[in-house]
């Protein structure tokens, strides 16, 4: 395993982070325990979750993933071996079952943090992330930003940081971060930091061979402002394993079970996936490991959040850290990207 400092902290996180959102629906608690055991044995020290998990979000399973992780901590007595990240949900008409006070008000933060700590059976969160912004942005399958001048959002970034600082000072949160953020959002947080407020240490965004748009503007912000980057969906809901090519819908696979998870299954994405698969086969690589190795080694990457529903998948995903792509492979990947840039929204 390789490790990298979470910027502005003394925390070393594994370059592979274990994602957890299938535990509680696609995976049982025992399977979640087995995945965490294997990941820890293979050098992974970083686990990411969220109050809304497992997915898809449903009232009867909300919080189930944090509960599974908390039960694992209690049974294994190993909280000190893990860098734990979780997220508080932003406003959404879809997820009102999570809490009646969705968003980042003082009451919402107090409520969400208390419930996450209880489910996780811990006294502190290493990295507490705002799952998505309170303002309207182009995320979750929306490619273009559609500005709405009359949208109900007043800039409250400074106030949010003040509210989070209360919990940092109490010891319940070590460091703060965001997720699904834009260059504008990151720079607003940095503007407040320059006024003396807490600094966000990372953002967690979708990034893969099919979704490289953060290279265009966000990557400069990350590197110039020393902000970490955590990539989620590096296999694009499993599409970059190649298992959905030629119309295949494998039994038990995420897109098969949940057809609305289709943002990476468009014609353009599948054509690009086939082109990347051809490169991998030409060079004796599995498409999965090539796709993950590409993400692992981006210059702005702090940690790559992988997920799996079986131990076989998990082992292959973690072992991608051992693969160094050649200059020829990178060149061929970028040639496909030039022809079919960001085919997924």
User: Which amino acids are annotated catalytic?
Assistant: 53
Asked if 253 and 283 touch (Cβ cutoff 8 Å), the reply is: no
| DSSP bridge pairs for 86 | 128
Rounded Cα gap, residues 259 and 237, in angstroms: 11
Strands 3-5, 12-14: pairing kind: antiparallel
Q: Quick one: tokens of 56?
A: 């898809």
Rounded Cα gap, residues 129 and 192, in angstroms: 17
Measured from the Cβ of residue 20, the count of other Cβ atoms closer than 10 Å reads 25
Asked if 250 and 257 touch (Cβ cutoff 8 Å), the reply is: no
Query: What letter does residue 6 receive in the DSSP assignment?
Result: P
Kindly list the distances between the CA atom of residue 290 and the CA atoms of 35, 200, 230, 265, in Å, as whole numbers in the listed order: 22, 31, 18, 19
101 by Cβ neighbours in 10 Å (0-12 / 13-18 / 19+) ranks as middle
Run of H or E including 84: strand 83-88
Rounded Cα gap, residues 99 and 334, in angstroms: 43
Asked if 88 and 108 touch (Cβ cutoff 8 Å), the reply is: yes
3-state helix, strand, coil in the chain (%, to 5): 40, 15, 45
Query: What letter does residue 188 receive in the DSSP assignment?
Result: H
| DSSP bridge pairs for 5 | 12
Rounded Cα gap, residues 10 and 137, in angstroms: 32
Rounded Cα gap, residues 17 and 15, in angstroms: 6
């Amino acid at each position: 395993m390789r490790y990298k400092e979470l910027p502005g902290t003394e925390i070393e996180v594994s370059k592979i982070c274990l994602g957890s959102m299938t535990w509680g629906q696609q995976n049982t608690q025992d399977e979640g325990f087995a995945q965490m055991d294997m990941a820890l044995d293979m050098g992974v020290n970083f686990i990411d979750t969220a109050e809304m998990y497992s997915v898809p979000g449903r009232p009867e399973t909300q919080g189930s993933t944090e509960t599974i992780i908390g039960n694992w901590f209690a049974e294994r007595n190993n909280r000190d071996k893990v860098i734990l990240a979780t997220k508080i949900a932003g406003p959404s008409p879809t997820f009102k079952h999570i809490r009646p006070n969705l968003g980042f008000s003082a009451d919402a933060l107090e409520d969400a943090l208390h419930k996450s700590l209880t489910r996780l059976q811990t006294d502190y969160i290493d990295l507490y992330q705002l799952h998505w912004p309170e303002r309207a942005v182009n995320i979750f399958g929306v490619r273009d930003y559609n500005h709405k001048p009359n949208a109900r959002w007043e800039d409250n970034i400074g106030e949010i940081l003040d509210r989070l600082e209360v919990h940092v000072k109490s010891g319940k949160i070590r460091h703060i971060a965001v997720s699904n953020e834009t260059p504008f959002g990151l720079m607003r947080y940095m503007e407040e930091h320059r006024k003396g407020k807490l600094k966000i240490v990372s953002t967690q965004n979708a990034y893969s061979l099919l979704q490289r748009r953060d290279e265009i503007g966000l990557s400069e912000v990350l590197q110039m402002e020393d902000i970490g980057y955590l990539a989620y969906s590096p296999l694009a809901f499993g599409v970059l394993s190649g298992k959905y090519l030629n119309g295949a819908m494998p039994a038990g696979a995420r897109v098969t079970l949940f057809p609305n998870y289709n943002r990476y299954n468009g014609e353009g994405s599948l054509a690009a996936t086939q082109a990347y698969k051809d490169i991998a086969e030409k060079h004796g690589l599995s498409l999965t490991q090539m796709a993950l190795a590409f993400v692992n080694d981006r210059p702005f990457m702090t940690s790559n959040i992988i997920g799996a529903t079986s131990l076989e998948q998990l082992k292959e995903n973690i072992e991608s850290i051992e693969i160094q792509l050649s200059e020829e492979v990178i060149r061929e990947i970028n040639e496909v990207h030039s022809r079919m840039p960001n085919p997924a929204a």
